[in-house]
C-alpha cells in the first residue's frame, strides 16, 4: 500500500504540474491519464498501489495548475479506449506506468510557484451513453472564484481534518474515489492507496492503520462482511457509500458495524450531486437517499429527477451540444438556484423533500457501483462474426446489485463471444452469463424485451 500525506501530495503534485507545463500544456488544456490495467510489470498489489497513488497525485497537481486530467478507465478494452482518447483530443496522453510514476516524482522536477491552493477545474470523466458512445463530462478551467466555490461546496459537505486517514477502495478513474482522496489532502489529512480492492487486504489495512474516512460502493461492504469471521472493528468516523442501490439488510449491517451516526449515503452521478443522507435520517425513512444537498433543489417532472444547482456546478458533455441541451432546463421561479439538470433517473419526493429512487434509466445496469450500458456493450460484441443479434441486460445479484448477462442469435459459440468480450471490454462490462437463443423476445413494435430475458436467465 501507499500512504500519501497532504504535504507529499502538494510537493509531488507540484512536480507533476511543473512537468506538464514544461511539456507545453497550459491552463484549460487536457492531459489523458490512460495507463492500462496491469501497467506495471508483474502488476502486484504493491506496484498497483504505487501507480494508483501517482495517478491521483498527478491529477491533483494538474488541477491546481488549471490543467484538466482526463481520467481514462484502465479497464477499458482497446476499442473503447481508442474511442475515448480520440474524443477527448488531449494535448498529451500518459499511457505507461513508467511515465506516470516519473510525472509524480519530486526529484529533479522544475519548480513553479504559480499553483493555486485549490484545484482550478474538475477532472474530466467519461460516463457511458445510452447510444453506445461514452460522454465526457466537461467544465474546462474554472475561473478562480468559481473554482473555489465548487471545491468549498465539496469540502463543506465532506469535511476532512489533518488527523484523518482516508482509505481508497475504488479505482481513481472514477470520480468518487478520486474526489475523496483529494478532499482528504485539502483538509490536511492522508490518503491510503491499496492498488485495487481486495477484501482481506482492506481488512488488514483497517486493523493496522485505523483509517478514519472512506468512500465505498455497496459491493465493497458486501465483500468485507462476507470475510471469514467478518471484518475487523470499524475504524471509521465517517463511512460514505454511493454508486448503487444498497439493500436494506446491508445498510442495517453497516449501521451496526460502523455506527448509525457515522454512515452517510449520497445519490449522485459523474455529472453532479443530488442528495446526502445521514444514517439516522435513513433509519427514520428506510429506503430514502436523502434530501437535496445545500444550495440545490430537487424537482420531479413526469417521474424524472431534476436537480437545480448553483451556477458553479454547470457542466456540458464534451463536444456534444445536443446531449448537453437535453440534460439541462431553465425553469422560471427557481430563485436562489440555477438551471436544472437530469441524468434520466426516476424517483419521487415526499412532503419533507426526501427522495426515493424508483428506477434507473431502463437500459442502465449498475454492477458493483459501476454503470454498464447495454448499447455500449452490444456495439462491441456485435462486431464478432457469427453474432447476428445480441441483447445485454441486468439480472438481480445479491453481491453486485446486478450482474451483466447477454443473449444472442447467430452461429458463434458462446465461449467465443466470452473470449471476445474479455479481449475488448472492461471487466465490469463482460457478461457473467452468455446464452445463444433461436430468437430474441420482442415487443409488437420490434424492441427487445429485456425484462423477459432477465426472467429467463433468472
Residue 445: predicted pLDDT: 45
Range of the domain at 211: 2-358
pLDDT band per the 50, 70, 90 thresholds, residue 129: very low
Asked if residue 239 has pLDDT above 60, the reply is: yes
> What pTM was computed for the model?
0.85
pLDDT band per the 50, 70, 90 thresholds, residue 452: confident
**CB within 8 Å of 53: residues ≥ 6 apart:** 2, 4, 104, 191, 193
Do 347 and 392 fall into the same domain?
Answer: no
239 dihedral zone (left: phi>0; alpha: psi -120 to 50; beta) = beta
Considering only residues 375 and 232, tell me which one the structure prediction assigns the higher pLDDT.
232
pLDDT digits (tens, 9 = 90+) for 67-80: 999 999 998 888 88
Of the chain, the end-to-end C-alpha distance in Å amounts to 39
How many other C-beta atoms are found inside a 10 Å radius of the C-beta of residue 172?
Answer: 25
Do 345 and 418 fall into the same domain?
Answer: no
Contacts 24+ apart (CB under 8 A), 276-281: 276/157, 279/255, 281/354
Asked if residue 415 has pLDDT above 60, the reply is: yes
Q: What angle do CA 347, 240, 254 make, to 5 degrees?
A: 95
Q: Total domain count for the chain?
A: 2
C-alpha cell at 405: 448477462
Q: What is the mean pLDDT of the chain?
A: 91
User: How many percent of the chain have pLDDT more than 90?
Assistant: 70
The edge-to-edge listing of strands for the beta sheet with 273-278 is 2-5, 190-193, 165-168, 213-216, 238-241, 263-268, 273-278, 291-292
Residue 110: predicted pLDDT: 79
Q: What angle do CA 20, 55, 37 make, to 5 degrees?
A: 120
Residue 334: predicted pLDDT: 57
C-beta of residue 359 within 8 angstroms of C-beta of residue 233: no
To which residue does cell 444550495 refer? 295
Do 301 and 420 fall into the same domain?
Answer: no
Phi, psi of 45 (to 5 degrees): -60, -40
Do 453 and 307 fall into the same domain?
Answer: no
Residue 261: predicted pLDDT: 98
Residue 246: predicted pLDDT: 85
Residue 130: predicted pLDDT: 43
Residue 59: predicted pLDDT: 98
Domain boundary among 315, 340, 358: 358
**CB within 8 Å of 288: residues ≥ 6 apart:** 277, 281, 282, 350, 354, 355, 356
pLDDT digits (tens, 9 = 90+) for 132-191: 567 899 999 998 899 999 999 999 999 999 999 999 998 999 999 999 999 999 999 999
- CA dist 208 and 238 (Å) reads 18
C-alpha cell at 227: 470475510
pLDDT band per the 50, 70, 90 thresholds, residue 294: very high
Asked if residue 288 has pLDDT above 90, the reply is: yes
Do 171 and 230 fall into the same domain?
Answer: yes
Bridge partners of 395, per DSSP, are: 403
Residue 131: predicted pLDDT: 45
To which residue does cell 491552463 refer? 27
Residue 388 sits in a domain of what CATH number?
Answer: 3.30.300.30
Mean pLDDT of 306-333: 90
Residue 40 sits in a domain of what CATH number?
Answer: 3.40.50.12780
Do 327 and 381 fall into the same domain?
Answer: no
C-alpha cell at 272: 453532479
Mean pLDDT of 399-403: 87
| Least confident among 8-12, 126-130, 233-237, 379-383 | 126-130
C-alpha cell at 432: 457473467
Asked if residue 317 has pLDDT above 90, the reply is: yes
| Least confident among 178-192, 271-285, 353-367, 414-428 | 353-367
Q: Please list the alpha-helical segments (H only) found in 259-413.
A: 279-284, 321-327, 374-381
Do 414 and 315 fall into the same domain?
Answer: no
Do 331 and 374 fall into the same domain?
Answer: no
pLDDT digits (tens, 9 = 90+) for 20-60: 999 999 999 999 999 987 666 555 888 999 999 999 999 99
User: How many percent of the chain have pLDDT more than 70?
Assistant: 93
Domain boundary among 358, 389, 412: 358
Do 174 and 55 fall into the same domain?
Answer: yes
pLDDT band per the 50, 70, 90 thresholds, residue 333: low
- CA dist 57 and 144 (Å) reads 21
Do 232 and 296 fall into the same domain?
Answer: yes
Do 322 and 398 fall into the same domain?
Answer: no
Do 198 and 346 fall into the same domain?
Answer: yes
Domain boundary among 358, 385, 408: 358
CA separation, residue 150 to residues 32, 84, 291, 407 (Å) = 22, 26, 19, 44
Amino acid at each position: 500500500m501507499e500512504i500519501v500525506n497532504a504535504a507529499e501530495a502538494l510537493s509531488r503534485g507540484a512536480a507533476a504540474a511543473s512537468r506538464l507545463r514544461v511539456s507545453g500544456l497550459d491552463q484549460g488544456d487536457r492531459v489523458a491519464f490512460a495507463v492500462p490495467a496491469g501497467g506495471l510489470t508483474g502488476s502486484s498489489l504493491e506496484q498497483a498501489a504505487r501507480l494508483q497513488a501517482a495517478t491521483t497525485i498527478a491529477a491533483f497537481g494538474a488541477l491546481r495548475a488549471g490543467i484538466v486530467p482526463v481520467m481514462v478507465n484502465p479497464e477499458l478494452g482497446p476499442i473503447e479506449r481508442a474511442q475515448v482518447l480520440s474524443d477527448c483530443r488531449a494535448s498529451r496522453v500518459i499511457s505507461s506506468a513508467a511515465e506516470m510514476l516519473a510525472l509524480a516524482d519530486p526529484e529533479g522536477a522544475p519548480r513553479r510557484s504559480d499553483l493555486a491552493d485549490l484545484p482550478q477545474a474538475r477532472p474530466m470523466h467519461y460516463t457511458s451513453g445510452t447510444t453506445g458512445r461514452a460522454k465526457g463530462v466537461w467544465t474546462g478551467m474554472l475561473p478562480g472564484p468559481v473554482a473555489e466555490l465548487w471545491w468549498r461546496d465539496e469540502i463543506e459537505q465532506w469535511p476532512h481534518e489533518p488527523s484523518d486517514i482516508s482509505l481508497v477502495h475504488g479505482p481513481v478513474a472514477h470520480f468518487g474515489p478520486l474526489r475523496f482522496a483529494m478532499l482528504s489532502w485539502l483538509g490536511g489529512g492522508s490518503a491510503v492507496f491499496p492498488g485495487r480492492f481486495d477484501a482481506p487486504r482492506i481488512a488488514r489495512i483497517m486493523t493496522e492503520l485505523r483509517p478514519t474516512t472512506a468512500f465505498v460502493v455497496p459491493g465493497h461492504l458486501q465483500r468485507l462482511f462476507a470475510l471469514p469471521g467478518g471484518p475487523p472493528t470499524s475504524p471509521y468516523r465517517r463511512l460514505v457509500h454511493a454508486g448503487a442501490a444498497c439493500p436494506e439488510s446491508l445498510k442495517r449491517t453497516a449501521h451496526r458495524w460502523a455506527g448509525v451516526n457515522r454512515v452517510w449515503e449520497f445519490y449522485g452521478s459523474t455529472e453532479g450531486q443530488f442528495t446526502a443522507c445521514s444514517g439516522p435520517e435513513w433509519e427514520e425513512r428506510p429506503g430514502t437517499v436523502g434530501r437535496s444537498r445545500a444550495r440545490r433543489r430537487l424537482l420531479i417532472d413526469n417521474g424524472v429527477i431534476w436537480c437545480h444547482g448553483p451556477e458553479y456546478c454547470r457542466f456540458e458533455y464534451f463536444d456534444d451540444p445536443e446531449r448537453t441541451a437535453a440534460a439541462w432546463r431553465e425553469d422560471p421561479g427557481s430563485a436562489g438556484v440555477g438551471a436544472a439538470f437530469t441524468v434520466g433517473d426516476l424517483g419521487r419526493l415526499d412532503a419533507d423533500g426526501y427522495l426515493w429512487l424508483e428506477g434507473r434509466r431502463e437500459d442502465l445496469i449498475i454492477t458493483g457501483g459501476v454503470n454498464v450500458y447495454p448499447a455500449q456493450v452490444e456495439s462491441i460484441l456485435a462486431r464478432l462474426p457469427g453474432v447476428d443479434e445480441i441483447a445485454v441486460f441486468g439480472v438481480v445479484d445479491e453481491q453486485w446489485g446486478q450482474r451483466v448477462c447477454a443473449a444472442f442469435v447467430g452461429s458463434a459459440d458462446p465461449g467465443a463471444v466470452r473470449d471476445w468480450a474479455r479481449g475488448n471490454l472492461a471487466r465490469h462490462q463482460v457478461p457473467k452469463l452468455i446464452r445463444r437463443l433461436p430468437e430474441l423476445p420482442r415487443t409488437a413494435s420490434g424492441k427487445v424485451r429485456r425484462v423477459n430475458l432477465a426472467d429467463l436467465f433468472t
